[in-house]
């Protein structure tokens, strides 16, 4: 029998609630298989920071690295909490994990499931994947401010785009498009961000020559937000930088049934480090602790985890159970645990 060492980081707010359901589903999906998940919980996030002052220690990082994969709920305290003024949990924990573990592919699928409560009247068949670069762009922390607090303050946050970093994620996106409907859309803002946009456009053009079967399209990011709402069915694989990918995937979640359904994987395709699976959403302080959060995004992230580990049968079973649950949901409000339990019941049927 195979053993998988899984690091589990519930985090803050609804992260804790949705990961509890995701773990129930993982257990149910693997109950009859010969794979065993050895789970190590990690107490990280705003709660841990407030208790100990630590965000992510070297010891935490080393311990996490010794796992085969990671599941994360969400991190981040209540915005404006004065006790978190000097902490930056998002940078110090979440981005540190993505950077240190070289999660250069942030994979964010959007599929409109039958019965999902989308806001669009005629959405068509919506099934696309955003391949969001995960280790560069404006996220790297290459910034600073001078003359702070004065009327002459200058604050910069420079987007870093390396040929190495762009090429590897573009290659991944083309390979993914080859396995799907063979359409790739680069999203950027080349009309204004000429240097950052230029390198993306050039590398996409170069790699495209190796993939004559893949139809390549380009959209400026502002226009892409239009088409995500008016024609989401035109997309197959979208490749874009770290910040545009962040923004587009919350929008993509909203048009395909809500952010509570949007799953993601932070992938290290080379396998040198564990990949990390998490819902796209955050810790949702506005509904935390009330059993109001939809755990489906976290549960679909488990399906992505299983797929990544090569456990395709188990992954498909989770996706089917979720699909069936979404199809039968109706309007009745359910608690976080009721959704998790309903999906577990389907897996046990």
Which residues are annotated binding-site positions for NAD(+)? Answer: 282-294
The CA distances from residue 146 to 142, 143, 156, 159, 337, in Å, are 14, 10, 9, 18, 49
Instruction: Using the rule CB under 6 A, give the single segment among 70-78, 160-168, 210-218, 266-274 that binds ligand NAD.
Output: 70-78
Catalytic residue among 139, 236, 241, 325: 139
Options 101, 297, 306, 321; binder of ligand NAD; rule CB under 6 A:
297
Catalytic residue among 27, 32, 222, 328: 222
Cβ nearer to ligand NAD, comparing 103 with 197 = 103
Name the residue among 125, 105, 112, 124 with its Cα closest to residue 254: 112
Question: Does 176 interact with ligand NAD (rule: CB under 6 A)?
Answer: no
Tokens of 231: 């024609």
> Where is the binding site for Mg(2+), in residues?
222, 246, 250
Catalytic residue among 24, 96, 111, 189: 189
Using CA atoms, how far apart are residues 299 and 318, in angstroms rounded to an integer?
A: 8
Tokens of 145: 């401010």
Catalytic residue among 68, 236, 246, 325: 246
The dihedrals phi and psi of 269, each to the nearest 5 degrees, come to -60, -30
Options 161, 185, 283, 301; binder of ligand NAD; rule CB under 6 A:
283
95 interface partner picked from ligand NAD, ligand IPM, Mn ion, none, CB below 5 to 8 A per type: ligand IPM
Using CA atoms, how far apart are residues 23 and 233, in angstroms rounded to an integer?
A: 32
- For ligand NAD, how many residues bind (rule: CB under 6 A)? 21
Known catalytic residue at 62: no
Known catalytic residue at 102: no
Using CA atoms, how far apart are residues 237 and 256, in angstroms rounded to an integer?
A: 16
Known catalytic residue at 189: yes
Question: Does 293 interact with ligand NAD (rule: CB under 6 A)?
Answer: yes
Q: Taking the complex as a whole, how short is the minimal distance between the CB of residue 168 and ligand IPM, in angstroms? A: 18
The dihedrals phi and psi of 188, each to the nearest 5 degrees, come to -155, -155
Known catalytic residue at 49: no
**Site residues (CB under 6 A) for ligand IPM, limited to 84-103:** 90, 94-95
Tokens of 306: 């299983």
Q: How do strand 215-220 and strand 183-188 relate by DSSP bridges?
A: parallel
Question: Does 282 interact with ligand NAD (rule: CB under 6 A)?
Answer: yes
Options 6, 169, 259, 306; binder of ligand NAD; rule CB under 6 A:
259
- Letters for 233-262 (x = contact with ligand IPM by CB under 6 A, - = none) are -------------x----------------
Known catalytic residue at 139: yes
Cβ nearer to Mn ion, comparing 21 with 246 = 246
Q: Nearest to ligand IPM by Cβ — which residue?
A: 90
> Where is the binding site, in residues?
98, 108, 132, 222, 246, 250, 282-294
Contacts of 136 (CB under 8 A, 6+ apart): 159, 160, 161, 162, 165, 166, 241, 242
Name the residue among 343, 324, 335 with its Cα closest to residue 115: 324
Q: Taking the complex as a whole, how short is the minimal distance between the CB of residue 135 and Mn ion, in angstroms? A: 15
Q: Taking the complex as a whole, how short is the minimal distance between the CB of residue 249 and ligand NAD, in angstroms? A: 10
Options 6, 112, 262, 280; binder of ligand IPM; rule CB under 6 A:
280
Catalytic center residues = 139, 189, 222, 246, 250
Binding site for ligand IPM (CB under 6 A): 76, 90, 94-95, 246, 280, 282
Binding site for ligand NAD (CB under 6 A): 14, 18, 74-76, 79, 90, 94, 259-260, 278, 281-287, 293-294, 297
């Amino acid at each position: 029998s195979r053993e998988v060492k899984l690091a589990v980081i519930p985090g803050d707010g609804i992260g804790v609630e949705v990961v509890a359901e995701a773990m129930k589903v993982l257990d149910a999906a693997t109950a009859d298989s010969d794979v065993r998940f050895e789970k190590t919980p990690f107490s990280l996030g705003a709660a841990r920071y407030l208790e100990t002052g630590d965000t992510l220690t070297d010891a935490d990082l080393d311990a996490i690295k010794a796992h085969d994969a990671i599941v994360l709920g969400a991190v981040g305290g209540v915005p404006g909490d004065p006790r978190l003024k000097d902490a930056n949990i998002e940078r110090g924990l979440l981005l540190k994990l993505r950077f240190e573990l070289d999660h250069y592919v942030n994979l964010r699928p959007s599929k409109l499931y039958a019965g999902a409560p989308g806001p669009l009247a005629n959405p068509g068949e919506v099934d696309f994947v955003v391949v969001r670069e995960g280790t560069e762009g404006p996220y790297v922390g290459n910034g600073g401010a001078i003359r702070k607090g004065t009327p002459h303050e200058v604050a910069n946050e420079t987007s870093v785009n390396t040929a190495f970093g762009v090429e590897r994620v573009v290659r991944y996106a083309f390979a993914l498009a080859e396995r799907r409907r063979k359409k790739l859309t680069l999203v950027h803002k080349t009309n204004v961000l000429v240097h950052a946009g230029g390198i993306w456009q050039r590398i996409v053009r170069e790699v495209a020559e190796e993939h004559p079967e893949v139809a390549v399209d380009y959209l400026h990011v502002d226009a892409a937000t239009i088409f995500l709402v008016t024609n989401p069915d035109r997309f197959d694989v979208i490749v874009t930088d770290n910040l545009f990918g962040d923004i587009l995937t919350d929008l993509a979640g909203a048009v395909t049934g809500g952010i509570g359904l949007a799953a993601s994987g932070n992938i290290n395709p080379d396998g040198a480090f564990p990949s990390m699976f998490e819902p796209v959403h955050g810790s949702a302080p506005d509904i935390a602790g009330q059993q109001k959060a939809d755990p489906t995004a976290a549960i679909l992230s488990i399906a992505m985890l299983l797929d990544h580990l090569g456990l395709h049968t188990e992954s498909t079973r989770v996706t089917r159970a979720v699909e069936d649950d979404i199809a039968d949901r109706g309007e009745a409000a359910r608690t976080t645990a009721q959704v998790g339990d309903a999906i577990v019941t389907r897996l046990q049927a």
